[in-house]
Amino acid sequence: MDAAAGGNPDTRTIPIDDGPTQETVLDIDEWAARAAASLEADFSMAEAKIHRFPCGLRGIGGGDDRYIAPSVVAIGPYHHGLPHLQKMEAVKLAAAHYLCRDTAGRSTVDQAYTKVRSVAGAARACYDADDPSVAGVGEAEFAAMMFLDGCFLLQYMADDENAVPVLRNRMTLSTGPSIHKDIFLLENQIPWLVLDALMEFVSVDVHGFVKGMGEKFLPGRAKKARRKQRWRGGGVELDGHSSRPPPHLLGHLRFTQVGSMPASETNYRSLPVDSSLSISAVELEEMGVRLAASTAPWFGDMSVRRRPLFGELSLSPLFLNDVTACWLVNVAAAEASAAGASRESDGFVVSSYLSVLAMLMDSEADVQRLRAQHLLYSTFSNAQALGFFKGLARHLRFGQRYLAVLEMIQAYKRRRAVLIILHKLLYSSFKAMTIATLFSIVGMLVGIFKTLLDNSDKKHTNRLYYVVVLV
């Protein structure tokens, strides 16, 4: 199309619509450079940003997005105006009043609000500026939102013994589990810098609170093992502290779980491996690979070891209920949102662990096997747990640590090929035994033991007779 026909005379330029009547023509190189610069700027903040739930992962959000959207309280702008969350707005105002009142000797509500307002611009940059829920909020309204949401979170995390009864009732007794879920949703976060600004005026052990929440992932034995190893120390960072501040509470929750994992594991690069390999818990047992609960103080530990006669797949044990399931979904979503920007090899540490668990579960029998080996403790039924993990696996990307486990399993199969064949034969033979066969074996053993006991009784009787005669 030529210029006379109304087309663009220069094929190296592209029209950009700047308004209803204006049109700017940019050189295509400049247009592409602008787009690249915008993407690079956004990528550089990938770890610090507060993302929307990735579209490609929405399938793991549960029915009615129950693991994505808050059910009780909105934190941040993404869900701020939802009608069913408005009752908690009055609670936020009360939380700000009580929180600042308790420190009135050092500060006032005005001083704390002024401090938050000074960081509101940086906080706003952590959200998607093009998102309607952000673009439609004025600067003053946004600063007030950050202030009230920050005060609410700090008041909620404060020591319950010092909590005001009316707040304790509204925050904990009636809606506690729901708020636990809500404050660790990916889309329901405020930047850490807002909490950091408020903590200049109030003293709240945020780290202790988040660490305590993280222990909900762990069953009783694993909690004791982690606390024991944390006390021993050993030069490993076990207590969850870091010189680098977390981006938000969800990021801090993830760090308390995997932050002490050695760099050699988080940065491990697997060799080329067949990612289509899939093996269930029952199939591993047939091969002679036993499942064992890891005692490593970090969450998501996975390793394959060769024992003299057997192999062992060691995994961090997990307590799964509706709250921890929600957190796992959102941690996986956070890892996907910051993919490539992480200081770890690929950032999919928790996602890899979830993928391995899902691989091990092909049937409810596999889930029961994980329960029997003390790897899975859950309020879910076997069918519900199977559905949860298989639903996750359909959407998660294979991380390097997942591929590393496949690599270790394949290496074990190569090095123990003969032993695996023998074990499978014995395992299959034992399984093939009918109930009648088992009863026959048991009956035969009972007969043998009875004969031995009868002979023992006769010898004892004869010895007694000789003693009586001699006397």
pLDDT digits (tens, 9 = 90+) for 198-227: 999 888 899 999 999 999 898 866 666 666
d(CA 34, CA 196): 34
Provide the greatest CA pair distance for the chain. 138
Residues 357-410 have pLDDT tens digits of 999 999 999 999 999 999 999 999 999 999 999 999 999 988 889 999 999 999
Torsion sign over Cα 385, 307, 232, 259: negative
- Nearest by Cα to 316 from 330, 333, 297: 297
| Distance separating the N- and C-terminal Cα atoms of the chain | 131
Report whether pLDDT(434) > 60.
Answer: no
d(CA 146, CA 117): 8
Q: DSSP string of 344-366? A: SSSS-HHHHHHHHHHHH-SSHHH
Q: How far is CA 272 from CA 277, 302, 400, 404, 428, in A?
A: 12, 19, 11, 10, 32
Tell me the whole-structure pTM to 2 decimals: 0.79
Residues 327-352 have pLDDT tens digits of 999 999 999 988 765 555 678 999 99
The three-state DSSP-derived secondary structure of 79-145 is CCCCHHHCHHHHHHHHHHHHHHHCCCCCCCHHHHHHHHHHHHHHHHCCCCCCCHHHHCCCHHHHHHH
Residues 121-147 have pLDDT tens digits of 999 999 998 999 999 999 999 999 999
The three-class DSSP label of residue 159 is coil
- Length in residues, the chain: 471
Average pLDDT along the chain: 81
Report whether pLDDT(21) > 60.
Answer: no
Band of residue 36 on the pLDDT scale cut at 50, 70, 90: low
pLDDT at 5: 47
DSSP-derived secondary structure letter, 154: H
Band of residue 241 on the pLDDT scale cut at 50, 70, 90: very low
Query: Which of 332-336, 421-425, 428-432 is most confident?
Result: 332-336
pLDDT at 262: 87
For 9, the token pair is 């005379």
The alpha helices in 125-273, defined as continuous H runs, are 132-135, 139-157, 165-168, 176-182, 192-198, 206-214, 220-232, 249-258, 263-266
pLDDT at 233: 36
